[in-house]
Structure 1
């Protein structure tokens, strides 16, 4: 029986997720929408539409109407996931299964400070030191405090996706040597102070030590057979390493146990020296889930869709340390 699956405004690497779902569920029929009508995802979809530029409840209303009009069985949201999750009961009334966790959980994890507080409350020690500020004087005070204790300090807004607001405070990004540094995520203290000074009070900003070591990105899904956990260690190259070291696995299990997550998620940690710190939980599949699945020999997107449909699929992870990367290929639009 054909299952009609809708992806709304995903990032381009969902091209791989769509392919994996079709591979595991041959009867899947993929519907895609995006603000950009020339998105590469169109090449992987059975139906394709440009979607309107809406936000919040207006966007959720659009999604409900779209599901009804296009007879959607499974909705896999990325855009406006918080607004969609708040209306899960309305989607269920249409017979639509939404691959999103409950609103309360997503709302907490979308606020990095609330997630850190919950982990701290549970005594999980992998939370880095941080300060939350909303005024320029608060920023100055937090920076002075952390700069005395750590080599580097960074900032990011509490509500963020994909690290768009992350900035490393780098006071050496002037002069000739600055030409050899990537500048898009670096700002001087003075430049940040000046930018924040434009607002008497700004959105909550997290000031914390810059976790400058390798990243651990774990693609996870809870199943009746236990959790699928696929941790990738990422450095500055494009080559990633699937690694099942028990100290890493234990930290991932701690976070999975702390939050009632039933849909796919991506848990991120970063090293500072030899200490692995919790960074965030993305309540969706990551842009690199296909790398983890290839190295681990398990089709997490396919299993996740079947779980949502009430189908319990067998799986077994190839628990070997393996290196994986990706090569870009041309796609005609």
Structure 2
């Protein structure tokens, strides 16, 4: 049995593992999963599972991953975090017979993690990023406002390096406290409040003042083969549901991005599209949190990646787009005690 380990990352493994098992290629695979939270649903889905230490970063996490691969006789490791640190020590995994799934080189991973570097690299591509200015102090923020406020109707702020929505805010000149009390907007902030908060630090890690991108949000899950083929399933997030579809210019632009950065394996691209204009938000060096929804397009992304890593030949059908997706939640009894 080939042993496949899914390290802790986004919270989608509870949906991924049954999807993988639905494919006949998985009959000779044993799926291992780990997480620091003993109540994480994914721990119930793994053929084997264990609890990770929570506060491990950089080389400490890589050391832990190497030890876990040896202890659990892992053949394929699919990480969900610390991609740059792992990429710098790939040879150590290869030396113990482990194939680690990373979609790009160390330098590319550094570039796509740092949004300022990333946006500069793609400014001449069809799907460039938003206009932005960098700042690391309140004084620099004021200069950025002077440069941008007359050019764009709405601005936002986010860290150059960050995950999820940490540090992201849409900037408003004023917010009505009474209205916001009853209908709160957690990602809004008044300009003066932003200055006041940031003034608590004389300087801080690079942040970006950016044009705020309106329109539909697209998440495009991708698998790039080692021979250069690219399989994509887009999701449009709209009105509480999702549609597995996107304008052709979005798909063509993602293909250009993937080629430009030499992306292979599993990755995800986030974009905004409105009235024929598309902007790239980010490339994630992993599967998206919502990738399980793409199963309705008929292409099994994790199975394709695992099979390629193991050197197994399987049919790779082109995704069929157009499905409309809604979400339903259910609850179930825990099947095992996680110590």
- Residues 34-93 of structure 1, C-alpha deviation per residue, up to 9 Å, x if partnerless? 121221111111222221121111111111111111111111111222211211111111
Distance (Å, rounded) in 2 between the aligned partners of 1:182 and 1:287? 25
1:22-37 aligned within 5 A: 22-24=21-23, 25-37=26-38
Deviations 1:279-300 (A, max 9, x none): 1000100011111231x11111
Structure-to-structure mapping, 1:276-295, within 5 angstroms: 276-294=278-296
Mark the CA change 1:242 to 1:155 in structure 2 (over 3 Å): closer, same or farther. Answer: same
Distance in 1, Cα, partners of 2:144 & 2:309:
44
Residue of structure 2 in register with 1:229 after alignment: 232
Q: Does the 8 Å contact 1:243/1:321 carry over to 2?
A: yes
Equivalent of 2:166, from 139, 164, 167?
164
Q: Which residue is 1:108 aligned to? A: 111
Q: Provide the residue aligned with 1:266 in structure 2.
A: 268
Pairing 1:81-92 to 2, within 5 Å after superposition: 81-92=83-94
Structure-1 separation of matches of 2:188 and 2:36 = 29
Whole-Å Cα distance in 2 between the matches of residues 125 and 47 of structure 1? 42
Structure 1, unaligned runs of 5 or more: none
1: CA distance, partners of 2:208 / 2:236: 24
Task: Give the number of equivalent residue pairs.
Answer: 329
Alpha carbons of structure 1 residues 149 and 272: separation in structure 2 relative to 1, 3 Å: farther
Contact kept in structure 2, 1:291 and 1:326, CA below 8 Å: no
Of stretches 244-253 and 109-118 in structure 1, the one that deviates more from structure 2 is 244-253
1:68 maps onto 2:70 in alignment: yes
Contact 1:14 1:41 (C-alpha < 8 Å) held by counterparts: yes
C-alpha separation in 2, matches of 1:90 and 1:74? 14
Q: TM-score, normalised by structure 2?
A: 0.91
The residue that corresponds to 2:5 in the other structure is 6
Q: Is the 8 A contact 2:218 2:246 kept in 1?
A: no
Match of 1:331 in 2: 332
Show the 5 A alignment for 1:149-188: 149-188=151-190
- On the 8 A contact 1:134/1:201 being kept in 2, the answer is yes
Asked if 1:254 is matched to 2:253, the reply is: no
Classify the secondary structure of the residue corresponding to 2:139: helix
239-248 vs 127-136, greater mean Cα deviation: 239-248
Question: What is the alpha-carbon root mean square deviation over aligned residues?
Answer: 1.8
| Distance in 1 between residues matched to 2:184 and 2:276, nearest whole Å | 25
Deviates more, 1:30-39 or 1:66-75: 30-39
